[in-house]
Amino acid sequence: MPELPEVETIKRQLARKLVGKKWSAKKIVGVRRRAKMLLVDFVDGSSLVFHLKLTGQLIFNGQPGRYTRQVFNFSDGTRLVFNDKRKFGWFKLVSNVDSLKEIKKLGPEPFDVTPADFNKRLLVRRRAKIKSLLMDQTFIAGIGNIYADEILFKAKVRPDRIASSLTKPEVKEIFSSIKKVLTAAIKAGGSSVEDYIDAEGKKGGYRKLHKVYQRTGQECFKCATPIKRLKLGGRSSHFCPHCQI
């Protein structure tokens, strides 16, 4: 599933391409991201909200194909193609984004949360496993399986650690790693693990930089210990049993 870095990449590309265009006589005035959702804002206050889910793609001036679910044609002859192989993705035209249930339940953005707020949120959810928390969109918005694994490797913390077991230095390192990993991933254009491509039809380069995600059995880049995999909440988690404690 495209996570924050992938959607942020698409957002930045589409913001340069769509602002000022008209769709259905409605002028586009901005393109935003909230968590893993993309928001196209119109001058009348309404917004077109996209959630790409597992296999969704938004391609500017793309060619419609077998998996195309919708084509958005603009007044200047350009278009935005929405593809979705597995059909889990969705889009909605809403008059007020803030009233959308998928938006209302979200936690803060990773780049907006303060260290104090992060600590407070951990205290409230102190019995939860740290990776499950990072992926919980009501706890912090935009992080999924890929980046939770990579963040915890950088922070040297096992994904199955209980929040209450974390020391203050570990919490500080997790908080710092969230921003560092996401920033690096955005710079690389996200991770093309399966179907993800950006709005220009290009793959993201951050997969080449993954330290643990989907590297089960391969040597850790730091210590050469084989990367292990465990199940947490029905999802696979990848970690180094030597580097992460």
Query: What's the per-residue H, E or C state across the chain?
Result: CCCHHHHHHHHHHHHHHHCCCEECCEEEEEEEEECCEEEEEECCCCEEEEECCCCEEEEECCCCCCCEEEEEECCCCCEEEEEECCCCCEEEEECCHHHCHHHHCCCCCCCCCCHHHHHHHHHHCCCCEHHHHHHCCCCCCCCCHHHHHHHHHHHCCCCCCEHHHCCHHHHHHHHHHHHHHHHHHHHCCCECCCCCCCCCCCCCEHHHHCCCCCCCCCECCCCCCECEEEEECCEEEEECCCCCC
Choose the catalytic residue: 3, 6, 8, 173: 3
**Which regions of the chain are under pLDDT 70?**
none
Q: Give the domains, in start order, of the chain with CATH numbers.
A: 4-104 (3.20.190.10), 115-239 (1.10.8.50)
79 flagged as catalytic: no
pLDDT at residue 204 in the model: 97
pLDDT at residue 194 in the model: 85
Choose the catalytic residue: 17, 21, 235, 241: 235
pLDDT at residue 71 in the model: 98
pLDDT at residue 49 in the model: 98
Q: Provide the whole-model pTM.
A: 0.96
pLDDT at residue 1 in the model: 83
Write the pLDDT tens digit of every residue in 61-79.
999 999 999 999 999 999 9
2 flagged as catalytic: yes
In a 13 Å sphere around the CA of 240, the CA atoms on its Cβ side amount to: 21
Choose the catalytic residue: 11, 33, 34, 36: 36
34 flagged as catalytic: no
36 flagged as catalytic: yes
